[in-house]
Amino acid sequence: MSTTPPSSAASEPRPKPPARVGWRARCWAAFAFLTVWPWAARRVPPDAPAVWGRAVACYPFVGLVLGSLYLAAAWVWERILQRAGAGLVVVGLDVLLTGALHLDGLMDAADGLWGGHTPEARLRIMRDERVGAFGVLAGVLAVVFKAHLLTPTGVLLAPMLGRWAVAVAVVTAPYARPQGLGRGLRATARRRDAWLATGLVALLLAGLGDARGWMAWVLAGALLMAMRAFVQRRVGGFTGDLYGALEVLVEIVTLAALAPAPTASGPPWRLFGADLGAGLRLWPPG
């Protein structure tokens, strides 16, 4: 019996092997997904769809770059321009550079998790583009807390730890919807990508040499585990909106852990007997 393949099959072109997903492609994909920078998307290889899931290994690096930009902008605002309200500048720049990606997820998640009585209803509400009362309240509180809890170390670490939590959630936590962008990330991301993201955070914290950074990371991990258990009970797992909510909440917890303790005269953002704008400064005046 001849083993020679038919001529028609022999003439068919062989499918191209998938492009190798290297570190450069992963980082460009991470920037393209987590920011509004158009030049990042142009550098993502179009023949490697798995790059979007593998990009979670670079999520903390994207957060570190964003945090560095926020810190530089706050320094220029306070030290060079001599203006108050650097906290609002940081929050506003975060919205501009990320397209309010995570804040929008927080608002949709708040509406869905507390606006529905069944998992199906909650997921349906989260898909609704309209924002309800729970979403507005969650968004306002997030902006207020972030603007008043900012410190130089917090500005640098909070975006990194928030995106680390998302990377770990994508790899390890179930996804609630049968379809969706998050489902694609979950299908292509690998467990070692989460370990690489974790190793990057550990390396950066070791270089920083601040014990409070490690404490903030522990709190971020605790919040990740608590939120994972909570969303599994409410909707069966994470969604894209819940990834965004997780990121914002981890940022707030990180900022709170790194914020200075109140002095004898009270917290810097009290309403009576102090300048209300003092709580929006990153560095003490002088």
Which residues, listed in sequence order, are joined to residue 263 by a DSSP beta bridge?
A: 266
Of 263 and 11, the structure prediction assigns the larger pLDDT to 263
> Residue 100's pLDDT is what?
93
**pLDDT of 220 above 50:** yes
One-letter amino acid at 84 equals A
Q: What is the mean pLDDT of residues 113-123?
A: 91
**Reported pTM:** 0.84
Give dist(CA 286, CA 270) in Å, integer.
Answer: 21
Q: Looking at the domain assignment, is residue 145 inside a domain?
A: yes
Give dist(CA 115, CA 150) in Å, integer.
Answer: 31
Q: Looking at the domain assignment, is residue 265 inside a domain?
A: no
The model's pLDDT over 11-64, given as tens digits with 9 standing for 90+, comes to: 434 334 344 568 888 999 999 999 999 888 888 887 778 899 999 999 999 999
> Residue 95's pLDDT is what?
95
Give dist(CA 176, CA 123) in Å, integer.
Answer: 8
Q: Looking at the domain assignment, is residue 5 inside a domain?
A: no
Which residues, listed in sequence order, are joined to residue 175 by a DSSP beta bridge?
A: 238
- Write the burial class of residue 217 (CB in 10 Å: 0-12 exposed, 13-18 middle, 19+ buried): buried
**pLDDT of 10 above 70:** no
**pLDDT of 89 above 70:** yes
Q: Looking at the domain assignment, is residue 25 inside a domain?
A: no
Q: What is the mean pLDDT of residues 190-219?
A: 94
The model's pLDDT over 243-252, given as tens digits with 9 standing for 90+, comes to: 999 999 999 9
Give phi and psi for 142, each to the nearest 5.
Answer: -65, -45
Q: Looking at the domain assignment, is residue 27 inside a domain?
A: no
Give dist(CA 124, CA 163) in Å, integer.
Answer: 25
The model's pLDDT over 157-188, given as tens digits with 9 standing for 90+, comes to: 999 999 999 999 999 999 998 887 778 888 88
> Residue 78's pLDDT is what?
86
Q: Looking at the domain assignment, is residue 256 inside a domain?
A: yes
In the DSSP assignment, the letter for residue 132 is: -
Could you tell me what percent of the chain has a pLDDT over 70? 84
Number of domains composing the chain: 1
DSSP E strands, 53-205: none
Q: Which of 59-73, 169-183, 262-276 has the lowest mean pLDDT?
A: 262-276
Q: Looking at the domain assignment, is residue 107 inside a domain?
A: yes
Give dist(CA 266, CA 274) in Å, integer.
Answer: 9
Mapped onto helix, strand or coil, the DSSP state of residue 101 is helix
Domain that holds residue 167: 62-260
Q: Looking at the domain assignment, is residue 286 inside a domain?
A: no
